Amino acid sequence: MLETTKLHLKQKDFLQLADFTSEEVHYLLETAQEMKAQQKQGIPHPHLSGKVLGMIFEKSSTRTRVSFEVGMLQLGGHAIFLSSKDIQLGRGESISDTAKVLSRYVDGIMIRTFSHESVEELAEHATVPVINGLTDLQHPTQVLADLLTILEHKGKLSGLKLSYIGDGNNNMAHSLMEGAVKVGMDISIASPPGYLPNGNITETAIAAGKETGACVVITNDPVEAIKDADVVVTDVWTSMGQEEETAKRLKDFAAYQVNQELCQHAKADYLFLHCLPAHRGEEVTAEIIDGPHSVVFDEAENRLHAQKAILKILLSK
């Protein structure tokens, strides 16, 4: 275990897992375990007493909004929900002006939006920490919770194999690649032609994997990807903002459903993860997501604990 009192994050913001060292990712996970243990034991941990988090939402949310609000409350602080429709950002105010103004009021900003460039611009102009709650390119807070869930159930991360089946060019696939290699976990992604992961993110993950001994495999063959997997992950085939592509995507991804037949190629004790919401009968069958290998609700709960670790570390600097 790392001595967390001697470790500090170099990053001001939490935008993507590629920004962090392997040691820093482990530090975040260890802090999340600590936060979770304290909550379960009823031990107060008001590390952010008097602190305020501003939360900008351009995309709707269940888990992100509730977990960040509850997390700030349990840490002794407060969270303010800011719908883009209700603030001046939705009426044309620039991101840079919004960042500068909010920095005068709050101690941190969480944003859930479409464009990753918007989050980067917000962080560039804000003088307080900015947390990426989701973009079309990245979903790092979810993947930190996924790593925490795998660690709890498997007792380790390094040396495991994670298989992601589905749309490789989505935020979960990208953040899973970045997170897996940081902790020494092999990752295989199976996607149809035309839906492969972002090339720059893939190259960065492969390079990071060389430092931790983790392997990245990108393939069109779901059986190849899932073979001997310790962890199986999927996501919806049609994300928010892609609704017009639904019919085409249902056809293109038909052979990439996570079902009993496909999962027979994984290890007998594999875990199944899904960031939710799920479309049963599309990307995954009910017998898998509601079956004995599924830990999706532990995974959902761990959004709270992982995000509390992020909040504690960044906002108490």
User: Is 65 labeled as catalytic in the residue annotation?
Assistant: no
Active-site annotation holder among 235, 263, 305, 307: 235
User: Is 215 labeled as catalytic in the residue annotation?
Assistant: no
Task: Report CA-CA distances (Å) from 187 to 1, 54, 93, 215.
Answer: 24, 34, 41, 6
CB 188 within 8 A of CB 162: yes
The alpha carbon dihedral of 236, 162, 185, 36 has a sign of positive
CB 226 within 8 A of CB 265: yes
Of the candidates 226, 231, 206, 224, which has an alpha carbon nearest to the alpha carbon of residue 216? 206
Cβ burial of 267 (10 Å; 0-12, 13-18, 19+) is middle
User: Is 78 labeled as catalytic in the residue annotation?
Assistant: no
Active-site annotation holder among 16, 142, 257, 307: 142
User: Is 303 labeled as catalytic in the residue annotation?
Assistant: yes
Residues constituting the chain? 317
CB 90 within 8 A of CB 115: no
Residue type, 239: S
User: Is 263 labeled as catalytic in the residue annotation?
Assistant: no
Residue whose structure tokens are 């920095």:
103
Residue type, 1: M
Active-site annotation holder among 33, 107, 116, 139: 139
Instruction: Tell me the binding residues for carbamoyl phosphate.
Output: 61-64, 88, 112, 139-142, 275-276, 303
Which residues are paired to 274 by β-bridges?
Answer: 234
Q: Which residues does the annotation mark as catalytic? A: 112, 139, 142, 235, 275, 303
